Amino acid sequence: MKNKDPREKWVTIIPLIGLTVGIALAGFLVYDGIRSVVNHKYCPVLSEDFSGSSLNDRIWTKEVEAGGFGNGQFDMTTGSDENVFIRDGQLWIKPTLQDQKLIETNNVIDLSADGTCTSKVSSNCMTATNITNGTIVSPVKSARINTKKGASIKFGRVEVRARLPTGDWLWPAIWMMPVEDTYGEWPRSGEIDIVESRGNNYSYAQGGNNIVSSTLHWGPSQANDAWWRTNVKRSALHTTYSKSYHTFGLEWSEKYLFTYVDTRLLQVLYTNFDEPLWQRGNFPPSDSNGTRLQDMWSQTGRYSTPFDQEFFLIINVAVGGTNGWFEDGKSGKPWVDHSPTAKRDFWNARDKWYPTWQNEGAMVIDSVKMWQQCD
């Protein structure tokens, strides 16, 4: 016991050397990671806290239409205080029932007649009831607002703090569209869906207000929209997105685009622009009609195309629709998408779905912030 082997010291020295090298290597990796992160400078574009009595019409536009916005939605959007209003420093978008008299008798609602329609397409300004063939005017009124007039960004950040609605067949969305269709009509010029959800409860087969999703839409034609390659869902933990307020965010640069809930660390969708989107889409050479599909993006030399243009913000609560957002045959859906009487079938089931809207059937927005990347 009194005689020590001189080699015993290496039992201590070798582990210490290994530990020192490990710490040094870890420190270098952390440093290299931090050094490689691009910390962009952001300049404020919009900071809206709804402290006024009405929306700033130099920034916001209330879209007034009755054409279903290409999704066959069952709501006509209005600029009325019934559907979009400010209360106690918060913006409310609240769907309400249509006047029953307009549904039970032959009627035509022509929004262009009084000059309120905001669409340049005349068919989007009209909705009608025809008792004979079973069609009806839009059975619900709601609202949709956008910042196209006064706030748009090309690369930057967006944060919308909001409480999503509760109610069967409600479809809340916070999303962005290009100011100009630089690369052609939808989806050639892109669409950024920061958050979409459904007002149905957690038992709904596709996921109700306990699920949010983020999506990028991009492709050479409607039939070749590659959204499914850039679509991610996130579940709320032991709650729903209508029980409390959440910050729904976007960070977007020429190299990447990601969305998040409450913190940038809690990401939903993350997309790297590390290859041309045309290449990533793996589109067929032609569509089902034999028309050749043209690559309209790679000519720019930017991998982020078409997400390299000015985009503006849209906030709305849609109702129903015939585009498949609510799948046929799921959880008692009271209409079939391809039915010519889908709107009437939906209306006839109002005793079931309308009571679910009564308590929290509105999207309530606390604030909207937009920043432009300016470094």
Give residue-wise pLDDT tens across range 277-327: 999 999 999 888 888 999 999 999 999 999 999 999 999 999 999 999 999
- Torsion (CA) 265, 269, 270, 274 in degrees, nearest 10: -170
- Give the right CATH number for 43-61+88-96+140-373 from 2.60.40.10, 1.10.3720.10, 2.130.10.10, 2.60.120.200: 2.60.120.200
The pLDDT value given to residue 33: 46
Cross-strand bridge partners of residue 193: 175, 215
Catalytic residue annotation: 191, 196
* Averaged pLDDT of the chain: 93
Residue 276: exposed, middle, or buried by beta-carbon count in 10 A (0-12, 13-18, 19+)? middle
Contacts of 234 (CB under 8 A, 6+ apart): 211, 212, 213, 261, 266, 268
Q: Does 32 score more than 80 pLDDT? A: no
- What is the domain partition of the chain in residue ranges? 43-61+88-96+140-373
* Band of pLDDT at residue 2, cut at 50, 70 and 90: low
pLDDT at residue 128, as a whole number: 96
Q: How far apart, in whole angstroms, are the C-alpha atoms of residue 240 and residue 198?
A: 11
The pTM (predicted TM-score) of the whole model is: 0.90
Helix (H, G, I), strand (E, B) or coil at 156: strand
DSSP conformational letter for 277 = H
Task: Quote the distance between the C-alpha of residue 281 and its chain's center.
Answer: 21
Q: What is the DSSP string of 318-359?
A: EE--SSSSS-TTSTT--S-TT-TTHHHHHHHTHHHHGGGGTT
pLDDT at 38: 60
